[in-house]
Amino acid sequence: RSRFATVLVYSASLSVDLKSVAMKDEDDEDEDDAGMQYMIQQSLLDASQRREKLVEDLSVNHKEVFRQTDPRGWTALHEASVQSNQTILELTYAASGDDAVDQQTMRGETPLFLAVERGFVDNADFLLGHGARPDTQNQDQDSPLHIGRLGRFCSPSLCGRASVLYESCASGDVSSLTLLLEYGADANVAKQSGHLPIHRAAHRVRLTYVVVVPGADVLSQAQDEASVLYESCASGDVSSLTLLLEYGADANVAKQSGHLPIHRAAHRGHLALMLLIPVTSMEDIYNSGMSPLHSAAAGGHAHCIKALLDAGFDPNYMLHPCVRRSYDDERKSALFFAVSNNDVPSARLLLEAGAMTNQDPVKCLQVALRLGNYELIKTLLRYGANVNFYSRVNTTHFPSALQYALNDEVVVRMLCNYGYQVERCFDCPYGSRSHVPEDYEGWSNTVIKDTMFCEVITVSWLKHLSGHLVRILLDYVDHVTLCSKLKAAVMEQQQWGDICRLQENARCLQHLCRLRIRICLGRLRLRSPVFMSFLPLPPPLKDYILYREYDLHGQLDNKHT
């Protein structure tokens, strides 16, 4: 190693020896602690002065040693950059020359790199002030600037770089951020992504204040056109949003995707969107192709939905076709988002505000049936969901809803109570004749459509359900005829005796009157609690008309209550 390195090692060992002596003497209870502490301080001071004197002598009499390198490629300046005595660094730099500040070791490390890596802030400032380059990379392609950022190293001389400011904002280090700005850091220097430090600071009011007040551009946008206000909405900090709006941030600047700040606040569930409602243009919302209600429903935030509805947003605003195409199901309504999330409170709020239930290509009721949520199904039916819908890929003669409830009596009865067309389940063109067509050649038609209920329920994997399901359906119809295929399947089930009793006898007059009254009232009136409350009939008769004795879900709720 160089003679200079030997001097530093000797000095360091001298300091260690003095400290060890001090520790040894502390164990001796007879010594005066105050006096010993004074002696230690004086010894260390003498050692430091002695070390400086040695370096000064070398710089005068043996200047060539300052350019020598050890096996690692370290020079005297590398050694001086990783020790805490500033005077030694200054003397070493003066003796080494200006070009030594960027000389690299075998690993490509400059004196500045080593100072930053080991946290010597004053040494780094000195080297930067004397021309050291902060972007010189080592063999791992790391630079002092990169190492400083990863280690949250704060040197005022590094403050002109966007990444340092940005990372200070990201880490929430207010003191470092303040120091960088005090030393002239430019708050409007963007990263490669176009993000400014203020985009990151916008999540917290203290950081926002520190960055905005010196003159950061609150109207700046990243490469994806995300505004500062849009970024702030991710955290929903009311104070940050208020500050940004006071300094002129525009709530009507959309991201490339079309989302406005109000959309993001609603999706994240932040009631800070109350600040954005009065400053957001309805025209810009319509131009975005989506309502904040869609965002709030997608995020599952009922409190935001209520706030938006109270502010007058339309629950029936549909997604623009260009937005709709990004979803496989081509959904339109905010209600569909709520139903897809299995979110009963949000769905109920939208329905109470007048949301229509049958506007989406895939019906909301169909989604609720797939989820199997009784409360959600009943809520949709009560607010007018079409119980007799046919799905887009439907191939059956009977309405599609029953296909999702073949083994669930609660849902089957719920559908029938709300007007499911049970009669279509007993339609069959063959009747008592054989179900094999006369011209049958051993294969089915290439176009499969209008499949009868008897064809579906008699397949091998559903046949065991046929008896129970047919028995339920018979409670909602007048006398019907079972076709030969359905009858053959039901005869093998344990419910056959009960079915025979119903089929062989005339239905009671009470039941027939109920069917007739329901036809006269219609589905719209039957599902309306308000209308039924004004109907001049005794409560038991109303319950009978509404099939309350078969309302299994209502009975379960009453038991829980």
8 A C-beta contact, residue 155 and residue 165: no
Please tell me the class of the 1-153 domain.
mainly alpha
Tokens of 272: 């800070």
Q: Is it the case that residue 517 has pLDDT exceeding 90?
A: yes
**pLDDT exceeding 90 applies to what percent of the chain?**
41
**pLDDT tens digits, one per residue of 338-362:** 999 999 999 999 999 999 999 999 9
pLDDT, position 12: 42
Neighbours of 422 (CB within 10 A): 21
pTM of the model: 0.66
| Dihedral sign from CA coordinates of 151, 156, 161, 163 | positive
For 506, which DSSP code? P
Q: Output Rg (C-alpha) for the chain, integer angstroms.
A: 40
Compute the distance between CA of residue 238 and CA of residue 67 in angstroms, rounded to an integer: 59
Q: Where are the domains of the chain?
A: 1-153, 159-288, 429-436+460-507
Compute the distance between CA of residue 128 and CA of residue 365 in angstroms, rounded to an integer: 68
Q: Which of 131, 128, 110, 199 is nearest to 162 (CA)?
A: 199
8 A C-beta contact, residue 477 and residue 453: no
Range of weakest confidence among 44-58, 148-162, 185-199, 366-380: 148-162
8 A C-beta contact, residue 371 and residue 378: no
306 vs 240: which has the higher pLDDT: 306
Helix (H, G, I), strand (E, B) or coil at 227: strand
Spell 241-252 as b/e; 16+ CB within 10 A means b. bebbbebebbbb
Question: Could you tell me the fold of the domain covering 159-288?
Answer: 1.25.40
**pLDDT tens digits, one per residue of 420-440:** 999 999 999 888 888 776 655
Beta bridge partners of 451: 396
Compute the distance between CA of residue 381 and CA of residue 387 in angstroms, rounded to an integer: 7
Fold match flag (1-153 vs 159-288): yes
Tokens of 26: 């502390």
Compute the distance between CA of residue 276 and CA of residue 280 in angstroms, rounded to an integer: 6
> What mean pLDDT do residues 203-220 have?
53
Range of weakest confidence among 270-279, 305-314, 476-485, 525-534: 525-534
What's the one-letter identity of residue 42?
A: Q
Helix (H, G, I), strand (E, B) or coil at 451: strand
347 vs 59: which has the higher pLDDT: 347
Q: Which H or E run includes 148?
A: helix 144-150
Tokens of 390: 């046919």
The chain-wide mean pLDDT, for the chain, equals 80
